[in-house]
Amino acid sequence: MVPRSVGRRFAAVAVALAALGSLVGLAPDAGSASRWASVEAATIHPGVVSASPVGQCSTNFVFFQGAEVFIGQAAHCTGLGEVTDTNGCDAGSLPLGTPIVIEGASQPGTLAYSSWLAMQEADEKDPNACAFNDFALVRLHPDDRSRVNPTMPHWGGPTGVNWSGTRALSAVYSYGSSPLRQGLTVLSPKAGPSLGSTGGGWTHLVYTLTPGIPGDSGSGMLDATGKASGVLSTLGITPLPATNYFTDMNLALGYADEHGMPGLLLALGTTPFNPNQLPLG
């Protein structure tokens, strides 16, 4: 398990370097806000659908590592087992390099990181990490970098990485694009209270008026200040029905940093976070 202190340092460095990239040209193909497509013109952004040979999910946030650009999803979106196979330390997965079709892209991306594969390679022993570390990255084709904007639809942001978790009853916001809605986006934006953290901080429970459904898995979760807080992972049954668990973003990024994705940075939204809108879902 990555200690929370390591995750906090990683998040702080990530935000600092992202800001530095915008100022002095670090990773000019990805670090500068001026390099992103406008919100209006972008066809790739948080919440678009990702499709692998085994299913479809929603994406969460945009990340970069040098000139490479990635979009996040849940690791279980490329899982080979049943929907109940949620232990990433022993569940089967498609291999790295698998083509992933990203909505709005002209070329397939490739699976570049999976927390499930990383934990299996590392022989991870922490049961909380095994159960709740559910994060993956798709590397976008270079031809599609000009189509990307990192802003979450409806809400704006992200404004950074949440490194402290979510307190019970604090607000959480998300945007999912389950294909089960057949293109209707009215219920894609969601908002609701966090029910706190569990699993050693690796997972958080959230209740929204309409929960995330199959196909919303992988959606990004924002905290009350617009920081990237997590990745929608599973449907909860207790303590309330129709709730969702989401993987802690800070710990997931810290694990990725230690296991094959060093220097990965969150791309900040180019429009301000605005929670003062009608939560439709």
Q: Which residue has the higher pLDDT, 226 or 242?
A: 226
Fold that domain 4-42+49-153+250-266 belongs to in CATH: Thrombin, subunit H (2.40.10)
Coil/strand/helix, residue 119 = helix
Residue 33 is predicted with a pLDDT of 62
What whole-number distance in Å separates Cα of residue 205 and Cα of residue 7? Answer: 20
Residue 82 is predicted with a pLDDT of 86
Q: H or E element: which one contains 109? A: strand 109-114
Domain formed by 171-249, architecture: Beta Barrel (2.40)
Pairing of strands 189-198, 68-73: unpaired
Judged by average pLDDT, the poorest of 5-14, 152-161, 237-246 is 5-14
What whole-number distance in Å separates Cα of residue 114 and Cα of residue 75? Answer: 5
Instruction: Reply yes or no on whether the pLDDT at 180 is more than 60.
Output: no
| Confidence label for 4 from pLDDT (cuts 50, 70 and 90) | very low
The whole-number average pLDDT for the span 70-83 is: 94
The distance between the two most distant Cα atoms of the chain, rounded to a whole number of Å, is 49
Q: H or E element: which one contains 98? A: none
Residue 36 is predicted with a pLDDT of 96
CATH 2.40.10.10 intervals, the chain? 4-42+49-153+250-266, 171-249
The whole-number average pLDDT for the span 1-27 is: 37
E-state strands within the chain: 49-52, 55-58, 62-65, 68-73, 99-102, 109-114, 136-139, 171-175, 189-198, 203-206, 220-222, 228-236, 243-248, 265-266
What whole-number distance in Å separates Cα of residue 234 and Cα of residue 238? Answer: 12
Residue 176 is predicted with a pLDDT of 77
Instruction: Reply yes or no on whether the pLDDT at 164 is more than 70.
Output: yes
pLDDT above 70 coverage of the chain, percent? 77
The whole-number average pLDDT for the span 109-122 is: 98
